[in-house]
């Protein structure tokens, strides 16, 4: 007959099985405690079963019978990654991007507890920004790259959407707004408007700035006035 707990502290070993991690055996310490340590567990739900293998020969004190504990479950929660965006827009200001130019937007998905896997989709609203560039699989450094060369003329506020994986939560970041334009010039006036009194001269300062490829020896701008 097995002795009760009052008869002493159990000795011997405990076997513990954990989902997808096999079975591990550890000895009980002087307090009757067996400690199991697992590292690098993937995200998800785990079932734990423990079996005490008993100690001694029945009828000889101290003597403890076999026992088991089953049905315990715990969850390893997915980590929240961070996403950073870098660009290699070739002109300044960077809010303007040359139509047909090979400019890239790079998304880096990172975490303090490892390197995320999965994909990043570059989206324009609810659609892929460029259907010819499907969600990109992260490389070994957590990096995915998008090229703007196929984007038509227009203004874009894209998002980089990370899919998540077994260990990391999905995440989305908004990319700074930019415009796809042809080579052109930006003209700003100071003041923006001017009301003149007949017979009285006035002046406006015009500042011209070449944008995305406008410039060089052949660049020319013609200024003229029109009447209402």
pTM comes to 0.69
pLDDT reported for residue 2: 35
Would you say 60 and 24 are in contact if contact means Cβ atoms under 8 Å apart? no
User: What is the average pLDDT score of the chain?
Assistant: 86
What is the arithmetic mean of pLDDT over 11-20?
90
DSSP code at position 29? -
Phi, psi of 120 (to 5 degrees): -125, 130
Residue 53 has pLDDT above 60, yes or no: yes
Compare 6 and 228 and report the one with higher pLDDT: 228
Residues 115-163 have pLDDT tens digits of: 999 999 999 999 999 999 999 999 999 999 999 999 999 999 999 999 9
Residues 208-227 have pLDDT tens digits of: 877 776 665 556 667 777 76
Residues 55-72 have pLDDT tens digits of: 876 555 567 888 898 889
**Residue holding tokens 């060089």?**
216
Residues 153-207 have pLDDT tens digits of: 999 999 999 999 989 999 999 999 999 988 877 788 899 888 888 888 889 998 8
DSSP code at position 113? T
| Residue 3 burial (C-beta neighbours within 10 Å; 0-12, 13-18, 19+) | middle
Report the range of poorest mean pLDDT among 78-87, 108-117, 190-199: 190-199
Would you say 72 and 47 are in contact if contact means Cβ atoms under 8 Å apart? yes
């Amino acid at each position: 007959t097995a002795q009760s707990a009052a008869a002493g502290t159990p000795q011997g070993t405990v076997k513990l099985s954990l989902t997808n991690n096999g079975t591990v055996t550890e000895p009980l310490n002087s307090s009757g405690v067996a400690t199991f340590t697992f590292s690098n567990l993937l995200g998800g739900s785990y079932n734990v079963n423990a079996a005490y293998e008993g100690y001694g020969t029945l009828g000889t004190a101290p003597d403890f019978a076999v026992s088991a504990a089953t049905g315990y479950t715990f969850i390893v929660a997915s980590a929240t990654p961070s996403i950073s965006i870098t660009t290699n827009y070739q002109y300044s200001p960077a809010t303007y991007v040359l139509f047909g130019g090979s400019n890239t937007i790079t998304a880096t998905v990172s975490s303090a507890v490892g390197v995320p896997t999965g994909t990043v989709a570059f989206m324009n609203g609810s659609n892929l920004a460029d259907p010819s560039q499907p969600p990109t699989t992260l490389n070994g450094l957590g990096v995915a790259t998008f090229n703007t060369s196929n984007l038509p003329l227009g203004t874009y506020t894209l998002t980089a959407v990370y899919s998540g994986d077994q260990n990391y939560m999905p995440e989305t970041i908004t990319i700074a707004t930019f415009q796809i334009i042809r080579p052109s010039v930006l003209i700003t006036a100071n003041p923006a408007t001017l009301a003149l009194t007949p017979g009285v001269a006035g002046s406006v300062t015009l500042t011209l700035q070449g944008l995305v490829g406008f410039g060089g020896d052949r660049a020319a701008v013609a200024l003229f006035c029109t009447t209402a």
